[in-house]
């Protein structure tokens, strides 16, 4: 029978050890755990409703509150509580600017605090295995290194405000088709080299306080009851001290209460299904899980409750704020650095404010809001500067806006995908890789009327073969948040020099893409086979010699950067020694601008297959015209290693390694080599 304990007064509560912030956190966790009755422990393990756990008033345990999502705080589905709409994950990743991810983390955590919650259900960091995944826009990149750096900064930013980050969705949730049931069949090497690194770093480098398990199965077992993934890898190997929460409703498909409990799932959301107290009690009675396991799972949640200050006086916690001009300016900065100039023939961009007299503005995305539908990515900003508003404001009184392309000096078409069913949206994958036919017709007929046509594309990658040769300039806008229109007009008229780089390869056609080799590799039926293994994104295009439409890391600027003077601190390294590689970058053009210097390594001769090149470093630097800067990178054994499945370990083989330094994965400007002598 459950013990019924009497309520404590506020003064009595304050005297309890777990309330004493001078004590060590583990001591406080144990003290609080020991005060809980079995029934109270059970009640903490599932949600009360959508965003909240059940409170335990007797001990002053408030409801632990959490909200979506990856680019803005969403408290309700009606928009009664508004919040800043930051650019979506793929746009933020395209900045290749870790500092902006950190600042974004701080700002969104301030918004979470302001609405009285304790955890943000973000960042979403699943690898972009295919542009067709409905959530590719919400995730960051196809590359594990870039993913890792941005994830660590985002999590650190969020948690610096004593708000828990909930890094999701662990793991191989790379498609929305059959998302509740599909089984991702993936090799251990691909897990280690591609899918794990950002999650591992979130834990080991940023101490993420929560991880959300995925809906799908991984190699035959559902994410929320995957003892190997959760208990062994996440907790025992990586040292995760926070708690695992199920994706919303994910436990409905799980085998049993005990399988979840033994795997290490602490919190079942949104409400009880497998963690019904009477079922938990029976399972415990029958020794289907031990009290030790139960306590370990509970302690994880209690620990995070203490970390976020659930028991502390609110006034002593980092201050919250929402919809501030600082947050809106940050949204704008991310948009400015995240938009990617894909093509700019004859330097048609930037437009000259003095010389341009008439401009035509067209396209279905010119005046569309982009924040609505979208599951975890839905959010309700107080306003959204759509391209029309941003451009009109900029042209006001200076450039005439005309209707017909034939009358205009330049035409801008804003087209692309939306957050809506069949396009970029949670719960469903994209239906088509190409733009809607009406948009293709609009583009081709407009260019015929006016060859000075600039195309701006929202959403994730689309095929372009019908029109790319005819259109002189293309900007990838993604979903660039509530300040998108201002950022875009800044880029069009040259107040902002574009510096975004693609975090994902744009294939010429879908069948070139590694996940689209056959039905079984995507979307699968009950199983989706990751037959491409480690050859995700540019690793596939480079190694197989397939020409992409636009390569990973590509993005143009209004200025030119000259790379010179590559130097290696050593020509040979051994053991755990590291090597410093430096070079000079000169802004040899006319505009101030930022460049993302990318470093790839190439194992010249390996006993196993390895990708042609792998990103192992990048630096974003800002330079004035004629300014030169030295950029340096450190490389060590870890950067040279691959995962050996037989030895179940990371191995750096002796031999020669090439270092490729470039402005994109296919625009390598400098090259050198060194030897790892083991």
Q: How far, CA to CA in Å, does 371 sit from each of 79, 385, 650?
A: 11, 11, 42
Q: Alpha-carbon distance 143 to 138, whole Å?
A: 15
Residue 3 CB partners (closer than 8 Å, separation 6+): 37, 38
Residue placing its CB nearer to ligand BGC in the complex, 249 or 364? 249
Question: Closest separation between CB of residue 168 and ligand BGC, Å?
Answer: 5
Residue that has been written with the tokens 């949640």 in this structure:
301
Residue placing its CB nearer to ligand BGC in the complex, 111 or 193? 111
Triad 97, 532, 511: Cα angle to 5°: 85
Residue placing its CB nearer to ligand BGC in the complex, 277 or 427? 427
Do the Cβ atoms of 133 and 142 come closer than 8 Å? no
Residue placing its CB nearer to ligand BGC in the complex, 68 or 542? 68
Residue placing its CB nearer to ligand BGC in the complex, 40 or 247? 247
Q: Alpha-carbon distance 121 to 242, whole Å?
A: 14
Structure tokens at 326: 């600082």
Residue placing its CB nearer to ligand BGC in the complex, 427 or 451? 427
Residue placing its CB nearer to ligand BGC in the complex, 151 or 664? 151
Question: Closest separation between CB of residue 179 and ligand BGC, Å?
Answer: 8
Please provide the size of the chain in residues. Answer: 678
Question: Closest separation between CB of residue 376 and ligand BGC, Å?
Answer: 4
Closest Cα partner for 556 from 666, 475, 470?
475
Q: Alpha-carbon distance 582 to 561, whole Å?
A: 16
Question: Closest separation between CB of residue 119 and ligand BGC, Å?
Answer: 10
Question: Closest separation between CB of residue 609 and ligand BGC, Å?
Answer: 34
CB atoms within 10 A of CB 508: 17
Do the Cβ atoms of 600 and 660 come closer than 8 Å? yes
In three-state secondary structure terms, 80 is coil
Question: Residue 565 — left, alpha, or beta (φ > 0 → left; ψ -120 to 50 → alpha)?
Answer: left
Q: Alpha-carbon distance 207 to 307, whole Å?
A: 11
Residue placing its CB nearer to ligand BGC in the complex, 214 or 331? 214
Residue 350 CB partners (closer than 8 Å, separation 6+): 491, 492, 493, 494, 558
- DSSP letters of 418-457? -SSTTSSBTTB--S-SSPPHHHHHHHHHHHHH-S-EEEEE
Catalytic one among 143, 247, 424, 429? 247
Residue placing its CB nearer to ligand BGC in the complex, 77 or 316? 77
Residue placing its CB nearer to ligand BGC in the complex, 140 or 663? 140
Question: Closest separation between CB of residue 83 and ligand BGC, Å?
Answer: 15
Closest Cα partner for 170 from 131, 222, 97, 129?
222
Largest CA distance in the chain: 83
Helices 484-492 and 325-338 sit at what angle, rounded to 10 degrees?
Answer: 50
Question: Closest separation between CB of residue 523 and ligand BGC, Å?
Answer: 17
Chain center to CA of 327? 19
Residue placing its CB nearer to ligand BGC in the complex, 264 or 375? 375
Question: Closest separation between CB of residue 103 and ligand BGC, Å?
Answer: 22
Q: Does residue 268 have a cis peptide bond before it, meaning omega lies within 30 degrees of 0? A: no
Closest Cα partner for 390 from 280, 480, 525, 283?
480
Structure tokens at 178: 């059959």
Q: Alpha-carbon distance 480 to 385, whole Å?
A: 10
Residue placing its CB nearer to ligand BGC in the complex, 210 or 499? 210
667-676 and 655-664 strand pairing:
antiparallel
247 is catalytic: yes
Question: Closest separation between CB of residue 208 and ligand BGC, Å?
Answer: 15
Question: Closest separation between CB of residue 170 and ligand BGC, Å?
Answer: 11
Question: Closest separation between CB of residue 70 and ligand BGC, Å?
Answer: 8
User: Rule CB under 6 A: which residues touch ligand BGC?
Assistant: 68-69, 121, 168, 247-248, 375-376
Q: How far, CA to CA in Å, does 385 sit from each of 71, 329, 392, 431, 497?
A: 16, 12, 11, 28, 20
Using a CB cutoff of 8 Å and minimum separation of 24, what contacts does 363-369 make? 363/412, 363/413, 363/414, 363/415, 363/439, 363/442, 363/456, 364/414, 364/415, 364/438, 364/439, 364/442, 365/414, 365/415, 365/416, 365/418, 365/456, 365/458, 366/414, 368/418
CB atoms within 10 A of CB 654: 11
Helix (H) or strand (E) holding 585: strand 579-587
Question: Closest separation between CB of residue 462 and ligand BGC, Å?
Answer: 24
In three-state secondary structure terms, 676 is strand
Residues involved in catalysis: 247
């Amino acid at each position: 029978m459950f013990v019924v304990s009497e309520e404590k007064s506020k003064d009595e509560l304050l005297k309890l050890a777990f309330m004493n912030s001078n004590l060590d956190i583990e001591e406080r966790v144990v003290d609080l755990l020991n005060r809980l009755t079995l029934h109270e422990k059970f009640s903490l393990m599932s949600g009360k409703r959508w965003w909240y756990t059940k409170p335990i008033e007797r001990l002053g345990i408030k409801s632990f509150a959490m909200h979506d999502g990856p680019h803005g705080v969403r408290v309700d589905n009606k928009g009664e509580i508004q919040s800043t709409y930051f650019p979506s994950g793929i746009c933020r990743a395209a900045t290749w600017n870790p500092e902006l991810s950190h600042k974004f983390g701080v700002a969104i955590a301030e918004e979470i605090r302001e609405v009285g919650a304790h955890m943000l259900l973000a960042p979403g960091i699943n690898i972009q295995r295919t542009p067709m995944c409905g959530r590719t826009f919400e995730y960051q990149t196809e590359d594990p290194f870039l993913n890792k750096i941005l994830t660590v900064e985002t999590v650190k930013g969020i948690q610096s405000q004593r708000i828990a980050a909930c890094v999701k969705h662990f793991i191989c949730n790379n498609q929305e088709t059959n998302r509740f049931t599909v089984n991702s069949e993936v090799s251990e090497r691909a897990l280690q080299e591609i899918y794990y690194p950002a999650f591992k770093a979130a834990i080991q480098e940023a101490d993420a306080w929560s991880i959300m398990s995925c809906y799908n199965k991984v190699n035959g077992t559902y994410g929320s009851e995957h003892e190997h993934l959760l208990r062994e890898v996440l907790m025992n190997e990586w040292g995760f001290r926070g708690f695992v929460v199920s994706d919303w409703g994910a436990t409905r498909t799980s085998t049993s209460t005990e399988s979840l409990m033994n795997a290490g799932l602490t919190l079942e959301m949104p409400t009880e299904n497998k963690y019904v107290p009477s079922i938990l009690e029976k399972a415990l009675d029958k020794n289907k899980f031990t009290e030790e396991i139960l306590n370990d799972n509970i302690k994880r949640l209690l620990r995070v409750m203490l970390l976020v200050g659930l028991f502390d006086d609110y006034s002593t916690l980092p201050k919250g704020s929402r919809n501030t001009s600082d947050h809106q300016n940050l949204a704008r900065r991310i948009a400015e650095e995240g938009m990617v100039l894909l093509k700019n023939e004859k330097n048609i961009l930037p437009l000259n404010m003095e010389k341009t007299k008439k401009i035509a503005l067209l396209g279905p995305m010119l005046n569309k809001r982009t924040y609505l539908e979208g599951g975890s990515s839905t959010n309700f900003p107080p306003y959204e500067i759509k391209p029309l508003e941003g451009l009109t404001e900029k042209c006001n009184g200076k450039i005439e806006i005309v209707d017909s392309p034939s009358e205009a000096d330049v035409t801008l078409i804003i087209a692309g995908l939306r957050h809506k069913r069949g396009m970029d949206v949670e719960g469903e994958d994209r239906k088509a890789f190409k733009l809607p036919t009406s948009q293709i017709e609009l583009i081709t007929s407009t260019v015929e009327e006016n060859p000075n046509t600039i195309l701006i594309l929202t959403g994730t990658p689309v095929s372009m073969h019908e029109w790319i040769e005819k259109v002189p300039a293309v900007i990838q806008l993604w979903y660039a948040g509530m300040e998108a229109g201002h950022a875009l007009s800044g880029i069009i008229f040259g107040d902002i020099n574009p510096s975004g780089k693609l975090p994902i390869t744009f294939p010429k056609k879908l069948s070139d893409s590694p996940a689209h080799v056959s039905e079984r590799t995507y979307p699968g039926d009950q199983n989706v086979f990751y037959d491409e293994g480690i050859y995700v994104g540019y690793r596939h295009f480079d190694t197989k010699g397939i020409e992409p439409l636009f390569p990973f890391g590509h993005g143009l600027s209004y200025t030119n950067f000259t790379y010179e003077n590559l130097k290696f601190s050593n020509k040979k390294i051994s053991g755990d020694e590291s090597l410093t590689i430096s070079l000079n970058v000169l802004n040899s053009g006319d505009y101030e601008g930022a460049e993302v210097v990318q470093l790839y390594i190439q194992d010249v001769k390996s006993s196993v297959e390895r990708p042609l090149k792998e990103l192992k470093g990048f630096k974003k630097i800002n330079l004035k015209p004629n300014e030169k800067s030295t950029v340096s990178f450190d490389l060590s054994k870890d950067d040279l290693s691959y995962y050996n499945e037989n030895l179940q370990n990371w191995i750096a083989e002796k031999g020669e390694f090439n270092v490729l330094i470039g402005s994109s994965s296919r625009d390598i400007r400098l090259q050198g080599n060194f030897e790892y002598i083991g």
